[in-house]
Protein backbone atom coordinates (compact mmCIF):
# COMPACT_ATOMS: atom_id res chain seq x y z
CA UNK A 1 0.00 0.00 0.00
CA UNK A 2 1.41 3.37 -1.03
CA UNK A 3 0.94 6.36 1.23
CA UNK A 4 2.23 9.91 1.15
CA UNK A 5 2.59 12.25 4.05
CA UNK A 6 0.92 15.62 3.60
CA UNK A 7 0.11 18.45 5.99
CA UNK A 8 -3.44 19.33 6.90
CA UNK A 9 -4.22 22.89 5.86
CA UNK A 10 -6.39 23.45 8.95
CA UNK A 11 -4.69 21.85 11.94
CA UNK A 12 -1.21 21.73 10.36
CA UNK A 13 -0.77 18.13 11.43
CA UNK A 14 0.88 15.70 9.04
CA UNK A 15 -1.28 12.82 7.91
CA UNK A 16 -1.15 10.15 5.24
CA UNK A 17 -3.03 9.92 1.99
CA UNK A 18 -3.53 6.31 0.98
CA UNK A 19 -3.40 4.83 -2.50
CA UNK A 20 -6.85 4.43 -4.01
CA UNK A 21 -8.47 7.33 -2.17
CA UNK A 22 -9.66 10.59 -3.66
CA UNK A 23 -7.04 12.54 -1.73
CA UNK A 24 -4.32 10.32 -3.13
CA UNK A 25 -5.54 11.05 -6.66
CA UNK A 26 -5.56 14.78 -5.85
CA UNK A 27 -2.04 14.50 -4.50
CA UNK A 28 -0.84 12.77 -7.66
CA UNK A 29 -2.37 15.58 -9.72
CA UNK A 30 -1.07 18.43 -7.60
CA UNK A 31 1.47 18.02 -4.82
CA UNK A 32 0.89 21.61 -3.75
CA UNK A 33 -2.84 21.17 -3.29
CA UNK A 34 -4.37 21.94 0.07
CA UNK A 35 -5.25 18.84 2.01
CA UNK A 36 -7.36 18.42 5.09
CA UNK A 37 -7.17 15.45 7.41
CA UNK A 38 -10.15 13.22 8.17
CA UNK A 39 -10.64 14.85 11.57
CA UNK A 40 -10.92 18.32 10.06
CA UNK A 41 -13.07 16.99 7.21
CA UNK A 42 -15.54 15.77 9.80
CA UNK A 43 -15.45 19.04 11.73
CA UNK A 44 -16.05 21.02 8.55
CA UNK A 45 -18.91 18.73 7.61
CA UNK A 46 -20.45 19.12 11.06
CA UNK A 47 -20.02 22.88 10.88
CA UNK A 48 -21.63 23.18 7.49
CA UNK A 49 -24.49 21.00 8.66
CA UNK A 50 -24.97 23.22 11.71
CA UNK A 51 -24.85 26.24 9.46
CA UNK A 52 -27.56 24.80 7.24
CA UNK A 53 -29.79 23.98 10.20
CA UNK A 54 -29.28 27.33 11.91
CA UNK A 55 -29.72 29.49 8.88
CA UNK A 56 -33.04 31.01 9.89
ZN1 LIG B 1 -6.60 18.55 10.25
Ligand 1 centroid to residue 13 C-alpha, Å: 6
Binning pLDDT at 50, 70 and 90, where does residue 50 land? confident
Gap from CA of 44 to ligand 1 centroid (Å): 10
Query: Domain extents for the chain?
Result: 3-53
Calpha distance 52→47 (Å, rounded): 9
The conformation of residue 50, written as its DSSP 8-state character, comes to: H
Q: What confidence score (pLDDT) does residue 51 get? A: 81
Residue range 45-51: mean pLDDT, rounded:
89
pLDDT, tens digit (0-9, with 9 covering 90-100), for 10-41: 999 999 999 999 999 999 999 888 999 999 99
State the distance from the centre of ligand 1 to the C-alpha of 17, rounded, in angstroms.
12
Please say whether the beta carbons of 26 and 54 come within 8 A. Answer: no
Instruction: Give me ligand 1 centre to Cα 55, in Å.
Output: 26
Between 37 and 49, the higher pLDDT residue: 37
Q: What pLDDT does residue 55 have?
A: 63
Chain centre to alpha carbon of residue 33:
10
Amino acid sequence: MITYEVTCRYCRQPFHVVEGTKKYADYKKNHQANFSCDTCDRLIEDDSRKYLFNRD
